[in-house]
Structures are given as structure tokens and as C-alpha cells.
Amino acid sequence: MARTRRDLTGKVVVITGAARGIGAATARALTREKVRLAIGDLDGDLATTVASDLGGKAIARKLDVTDHSGYAAFLDEVEDELGPIDVLINNAGIMPVANFDEESAESIARQLDINLHAVIFGTQQAVQRMKPRGRGHIVNIASAAGKGGFPGVATYCSTKFGVVGLTEALYNELHGTGIDVSCVMPGIVRTELTDGIKDHWLIKTSTPQQVADAIVGALQKPRLDVFVPRSIGALNRSMAFVPRRGQAWFMRATGADRLLADAAHSPAREAYERRAAGK
């Protein structure tokens, strides 16, 4: 029997990193579902603009997810203003591209803080708030790079592997509590984060709206693994049956191993790399 699609009307939804890209697209998609929306972003002014563009149907706050006390206070403020949080979408993330031996300690620490530590903290905060109520949904935005390592983004892959592992563990740990968890794993999504990265025939390029639609779909019909596009999931499952040497050969033969690394010195990434570094 097909599962009934959940009505999201009136649900209190929080999205981090929602001033741009996937986060902003998800905010727009969820506004159409008539949720009560709170968006947080390090760029508070841009977050406010996004909220305004949604017709005043969302609240916006400046949010530095690496400031854990500030993150907790943000969630407290949302609950005071909108009510108990039903959905937390951990979307904030960065992806500097560099050969691992050339990557700075600051870049490594910043990715760990934003992409992994903040997701762990935000998820724990959500569980602590949702568990006593016996309901809730946590959506963690990982990446296809959380299932397979790509040269040029070793630290990024490490953080996304961590997000995948966290979400899979909680899927089992929270069984029976009423809390759902989903791990969203996009491939190449055309946002600032992928500036300078070329299209590749093996991995179909997606738009932020397509990822947003997949997130909404997972909220309406909860599931753990959300690949965007779905073909990435099929590829991931099929490659699991191929020996490690065969996987590596396939990546090199198709040029997929250089997909991200070749963008390291692309002029098209300069603006994004500065922003990702907090400059």
C-alpha cells in the first residue's frame, strides 16, 4: 500500500544557509507548501531579502552555524516566534577545491566546522527538542561526494562522509521515536559552489530547484537516502559490486576522477573561493 503523502501546511521548518543556492530554492519550494519558515544564513542581509521575496511568509536571521551557542539561541528564537520546530534542514556548507597537500589548515578547519561539526550540533539540538514531542524530521544535506572520494576535495569528502554516517546511524537509533531523518546527496548542482566545474556525461547536472523538489518530496514521503538525480543512487549501488581497483579504473577511464580537481585553479571559482574562506 502506498504511503499517504504528508501535508506540510503549518509545519515549522528551519533551513540553514538559506540565502543562496539550494537553501534559497528550498525556502521557495516550502513556501508553496504553506509552512511556517525560518531561514538563517551568515549573510543576514541577503537572508532578509530572500524572506522578503517570499512575500513576508518567512522570518530571517543572521546565523553563524559554527557559533554553537548562537545556533541554539537561533533555534530558541524560532520556537518562541513560530512554535516547536517540526523540520530542521542542515544545508549550510562550503566546498573549497585544492590538492590536499596544498590545502591550508584554516581551510580544513573551516570545512570541518561548517560542514560537519555544525551539522552534528544542529542535529543533536533538533533531536533533543523533537524527541519529547514524539515527532519531527531532520534533513541533512550531504553530497554524492559523501559516498565516493573525489580528488581535489579530500577534506570536503571527509565532511560529507561524516554527514552520511551521522544520518545513517540516527536512522537506526531514532527508530520508533517518531523522528524521521533524511540524507540528501546531490551530484553537480549549478550553484556558486560548483563554479568552474565542468559538466560530465556520467553525472547529470541538477538545478537547485530539482534538489529543493526532492527535499520537499522526502518530507512528504520520508525516506533515508535522497539522491539527486536518482541516477546517482543507481550508479552508487551498481558500483558497490565492482572491486575497488575496478572502481578506480572506471573513474580514471571516464575522467570523473578529475571532475573537481581540474577546477582548482579556474578563474570562475575565484569569487566563490574567497567567500568560502570567509574573506
250 near 242, Cβ under 8 Å? Answer: yes
Active site residue 156: yes
Marked catalytic residue, from 71, 156, 171, 272: 156
Per-residue cell: 189: 548542482
Query: What order do you get walking across the sheet with 36-41 strand by strand?
Result: 58-62, 36-41, 12-16, 87-90, 136-141, 179-186, 225-228
Q: Between vectors from CA 190 to CA 272 and to CA 39, what angle results, nearest 5°?
A: 75
Please identify every residue annotated as catalytic: 156
